[in-house]
Amino acid sequence: MRLDHIMLEDFRNYARQEVSFDPTCNVICGENAQGKTNLLEAMVCLSTGKSHRTRTDRELIRFEQEGFRLEGSVCSRGREFTSHIDVGFGKKKRITVNQVPARMASDLSAVLNTVFFCPEDLHLIREGAAARRRFIDASLCQLRPRYAAALAEYQRLHEHKTRILRDCADRPDLIATLPDFNLRMAETGAILIHYRARFVRMLSDCAAAAHSECSGGKERLDIQYRTVKTVSDPFGDHRLLVIQLLEHQREHHYAEVSSRQCLSGPHKDDIEVTLDGLSARSYASQGQTRTAALALKLADREIHREIIGEYPILLLDDVLSELDPKRQEYVLNRIGSGQVFITCCEEDRLHSLLKGNIYRVKNGVVR
Ligand code: ATP
Ligand code: MG
């Protein structure tokens, strides 16, 4: 999978910019606040339909402009594709792939996959569960369109149920609508659990191998999927999962109504990472948690390759400069085949380590 060319129009601090890329390594360097991350963000948008940094598309529009446009030329599965995103104030977002209007954002992921890695990800292990769920969701949404659809539906139901729980003190009649929401949340929640259980199993295998390699075989990393307590087997069949989710909801009904919060469901899922049997979140050292986070991210890339048959493009935003030389070398050796985009500051001495095209970004212009 390769991004050959990109065009940005009124996107972030870019007025209009076209760039052609190398099929292997692309180093994007420049001083702070010049547009390096913005360029990677445009690539993420072209693979997921939205930014990983913002909740609204509005923020992506260049100041004082009416809208933005992105175009990417991609080679994947041995074919050429051109994807477009067109966003404007008061207009519906338009996405096309080879001129054909896309029905949903996952049509973009069917063409281009990205794994994004930035310094904050090095704290993935220490962070709260939400960060790890975002990591899993970002990957699964690209890989499994059915998951992406179920997640969007689940989030919609969750927001709605939360509003009901908030308002039902003043309007007790709303409580009668809860069973319907609970059933629909259990149905979609079971789909999420189905995919997450399988993803985490693959993640565990791939990340253990990466971690062992990076730590010189000294430590054993293990990852376990943690979901709703009543679920006896996350690999179990759909009907059983639904029944068990409903059971958990029933047990928490009064707690939900009195706390006015949605307490039951896979929106609280987590993965537990252990090193030699000890919780990494509680016991691992800084270096160990970094290595484990690195292993998770590299494993993500391997999973993409296993499922879609080719490497996704890897976006390393400032992450190499955050790593010590040993881990830098490890990451660079691991990349092997596949296309990679690496941002770094002008003064980094990384350049000597990297082979490939070098691009210089200054004030929203790439040279
Ligand atoms: P660093 O090395 O500090 O990470 P960077 O080169 O990655 O810097 P970016 O995050 O890509 O920097 O770009 C930041 C610049 O883009 C900021 O100066 C910011 O003001 C500008 N910017 C962000 N959003 C917009 C927008 N919607 N319109 C215009 N400029 C924007
Ligand atoms: Mg940046």
- pLDDT at res. 196: 98
CA–CA distance, 282 with 143 (Å, rounded to integer): 31
Amino acid, res. 351: H
Provide the pairing of β-strand 25-29 with 340-344: parallel
Report the candidate in 131, 118, 136, 269 with the shortest Cα–Cα distance to residue 204: 136
In this structure, which ligand is nearest to the CA of 59?
1
Name residues whose C-beta falls within 8 Å of residue 288's C-beta, 6 or more positions apart in sequence. Answer: 215, 219, 275, 280
Distance 346 CA to ligand 2 centre (A): 12
pLDDT for position 321: 86
* Res 336: pLDDT: 77
pLDDT band at 95 (very low <50, low <70, confident <90, very high): very high
Give the pLDDT score at 1.
96
Which residue has tokens 């993420």?
44
* CA–CA separation, 343 and 352 (whole Å): 14
User: Is the per-residue pLDDT at 287 higher than 80?
Assistant: yes
Which residue's CA is the nearest one to ligand 1's atom 16? Answer: 13
Q: What per-residue confidence (pLDDT) applies to 333?
A: 87
Q: Would you place residue 355 in the very low, low, confident or very high pLDDT band (cuts 50, 70, 90)? A: confident
For strands 340-344 and 313-317, give the pairing.
Answer: parallel
The 10s digit of each residue's pLDDT in 98-140 is: 999 998 888 999 999 999 999 999 999 999 999 999 999 999 9
**Are residues 275 and 219 in contact, defined by beta-carbon separation less than 8 angstroms?**
yes
User: Which residue did the predictor score with more confidence, 129 or 352?
Assistant: 129
Atom index in ligand 1 nearest the CA of residue 60 equals 27
Of the pLDDT bands very low, low, confident and very high (cuts 50, 70, 90), residue 212 is very high
Is this prediction's pTM over 0.85? yes
Q: Which residues have CB under 8 Å from 19's CB, separation 6+?
A: 5, 6, 39, 359, 366
At residue 334, the pLDDT reads 85
pLDDT value of residue 352 = 72
Token duo for residue 125: 């292990």
The mean pLDDT of 6-15, rounded to a whole number, is 98
Q: Which protein residue has the closest C-alpha to ligand 1 atom 2?
A: 32
pLDDT at 241: 98
Q: Counting ligands in written order, which one lies closest to the CA of residue 62?
A: 1
Indicate which atom in ligand 1 lies nearest the CA of residue 40.
11
* CA of 318, closest atom in ligand 1: 4
What pLDDT was estimated at residue 15?
Answer: 98
Q: Which residues contact 325 (CB under 8 A, 6 or more apart)?
A: none
Across 277-288, average pLDDT = 95
Choice from 10, 36, 363 to test ligand 1 binding pocket (greatest atom count within 8 A of CB): 36
Candidates 142, 119, 70, 116; CA nearest to 341 is 116
Q: What is the pLDDT of residue 63?
A: 97
Radius of gyration of the chain (CA): 22
CA angle, 80 then 84 then 88, to 5°: 180
The alpha carbon of 365 and the centre of ligand 1 are apart by a number of angstroms equal to 12
Measured in Å, residue 39 CA sits from the centre of ligand 2 at 9
Q: How confident is the model at residue 314 (pLDDT cuts 50, 70, 90)?
A: very high
* pLDDT for res 285: 94
pLDDT above 90: percentage of residues in the chain: 87
Q: Quick one: which atom of ligand 1 is closest to the CA of 65?
A: 28
Q: What is the pLDDT of residue 90?
A: 84
In the reported structure, the alpha carbon of residue 232 is separated from the centroid of ligand 2 by a whole-number distance in angstroms of 43
Give the distance (Å) from ligand 2 centre to CA of residue 116: 12
Which atom of ligand 1 approaches the CA of 59 most closely? 27
Task: Report which residue type is found at 160.
Answer: H
Express each pLDDT in 229-252 by its tens digit: 999 999 999 999 999 999 999 999
Q: In what order do the strands lie in the sheet with 79-88?
A: 14-20, 2-11, 67-76, 79-88, 94-97, 100-101
Residue whose CA is at the smallest distance from ligand 1 atom 3: 32
Asked if 302 and 326 touch (Cβ cutoff 8 Å), the reply is no
Cα(150)–Cα(3) distance, integer angstroms: 28
> How high does pLDDT run on average in the chain?
95
* Residue ranges lining ligand 1, Cβ < 6 Å: 12-13, 30, 32-38, 59, 61-63, 318, 345
Q: Which residue's CA lies nearest to atom 17 of ligand 1?
A: 33
Atom 30 of ligand 1: nearest residue by CA position: 13
Q: Looking at the CA of residue 62, tell me the nearest atom of ligand 1.
A: 28
Q: Whose CA is nearest to atom 14 of ligand 1?
A: 33
Q: Which of 313, 306, 178 is nearest to 250 (CA)?
A: 178
CA gap 354, 367 in Å, rounded: 18
The ligand minimizing its distance to the Cα of 28 is 1
Provide the token pair at 299. 């494993």
Checking if the pLDDT of 337 tops 90, the result is: no
Closest CA to 144 of 292, 267, 307, 317: 307
Pick the ligand that lies closest to the CA of residue 38: 1
Strands (E) across 217-310 are located at 221-226, 270-275, 278-279
